[in-house]
Amino acid sequence: MTRAKKNIPPGQKSDFTGEKAEWLDSFKDTILGAGRDEIRAEYTDIANRFVLRYGYDLPFSDNVVGDPTLNPPVIPVAVTEEEKTRREEIRATLRTKLSNWYRTRYRNKKANGAALKQILGAMQGMAGNAQRPRRKAVLAMYWKLHYEERVKPAFDAMWANTKDSVPITMRVSMMQDYVRSCWEAESEEFKKGVEDQCSRVHEEAMKKWRAGRLGESFTAEEYNDALESMEDVVIPLADALAESVFSDTAEGAISKMWAQFDHLGFTATEASITRYGNAFFTTPEQVHLSRKGPVFAQGLIAISLGNPY
DNA sequence: TAGTGGGCGATTGAGGTCCC
DNA sequence: GGGACCTCAATCGCCCACTA
């Protein structure tokens, strides 16, 4: 039984929808055009404008009725320290929300670029320039290792009693608070064990990362594994390159076959890449690869394996 | 050179929708 | 029905620019 499509995006709803989302969207060009040095000022500026437009008391997830400029909020001068603190906290939260909102939409890669991410990840891994591994925060390690047994039963019970009285968007922050309180209640010995594990995992990851950067040669097994994973992404990429190249222009998106767009260039490039692939791989490897995809793809795989950048 | 501030990307589990 | 995919908020480590 298939449900009727409602054209509603998956996932939880954003705090900024409707008129607010449209208004924030009007700053798109400003955000996209801002350099690293300017972006922080832009976020702050938009947060300031947001407060002037919607006030401090409108819940983030709510929208005003009608045009907010026709009935602007009345914001009296904050006379008490409490009120000043409250406003500062609202502005800080708002600024974080706004920066996340803009980054997610305009400054980060699109989430649905999973296939591209896989291709780039495989290529990075082969080239030995994968991102430096990050040390997992001790709380994150605790969460990962012990959430199910030490936190979840109690948190689930608490959430069941609370969820009808608070917005769903509170859930994550409540969970984070709860995990933190559980962590703080653990014994010093237990905490040290988790911290040690963080260090061990990070050291191990760093060891592998450094080895890759130093250009240590692959073992036969690692080479073969890498080759297999490259086939999954490079061969479809080779097909895609040969089939269609899309180009965004001011006049709108146009689609052209690369081979049609620049026939001489395409033919010369294809021949060069293919020659390189033939020279790079042994005959048995060529036979193995040719069963899986076009000869052109062998050249692309060879370039990825052969460039030590 | 050391310290600081802040942007960015990764991360977490659950909830919501869509598709098979 | 169940898995895939995407979203949410807030935190943290990393990195870089800037300042003293």
Residue entry with tokens 């449209």? A22
Q: What are the pLDDT digits (tens) for A222-264? A: 445 455 445 444 544 554 454 433 333 322 233 344 454 455 5
Name the nt closest to A39 by C-alpha to C1'.
B7
Nucleotides of strand C within 7 Å of the protein's CB atoms: 1-2, 4-15, 17-18
Strand C–CB A12 distance below 7 A: yes
Q: Assign A304 to helix, strand or coil.
A: helix
Question: Is-contact A231 A300, C-beta < 8 A?
Answer: no
Name the nt closest to A100 by C-alpha to C1'.
C9
Strand C–CB A168 distance below 7 A: no
Strand C–CB A184 distance below 7 A: no
Name the nt closest to A36 by C-alpha to C1'.
B7
Whether A13 shows a pLDDT value over 50: the answer reads yes
Q: Nearest residue to C14 (CA, C1')?
A: A134
Range 108-167, chain A: CB under 7 Å to any strand C atom: 111-112, 114, 132, 134-140
Q: What are the pLDDT digits (tens) for A90-120? A: 776 777 677 767 766 665 433 333 334 444 4
Whether A19 shows a pLDDT value over 50: the answer reads yes
Q: Nearest residue to C11 (CA, C1')?
A: A176
Nucleotides of strand B within 7 Å of the protein's CB atoms: 6-20
Residue A294 pLDDT: 55
Q: How confident is the model at residue A274 (pLDDT cuts 50, 70, 90)?
A: low
Q: In the Cβ-directed half-sphere of A272, how many Cα atoms lie within 13 Å? A: 7
Q: What is the mean pLDDT of residues A177-193?
A: 78
Q: What are the pLDDT digits (tens) for A69-80? A: 777 777 777 777
Q: How confident is the model at residue A6 (pLDDT cuts 50, 70, 90)?
A: very low
Partnered with residue A245 across adjacent β-strands are A256
Whether A89 shows a pLDDT value over 60: the answer reads yes
With a CB cutoff of 8 Å and minimum separation 6, the contacts of A63 are A17, A18, A19, A20
Q: Nearest residue to B16 (CA, C1')?
A: A11
Whether A123 shows a pLDDT value over 60: the answer reads no
Question: Is-contact A248 A274, C-beta < 8 A?
Answer: no
Range 28-67, chain A: CB under 7 Å to any strand C atom: 36-37, 60
Question: Is-contact A56 A75, C-beta < 8 A?
Answer: yes
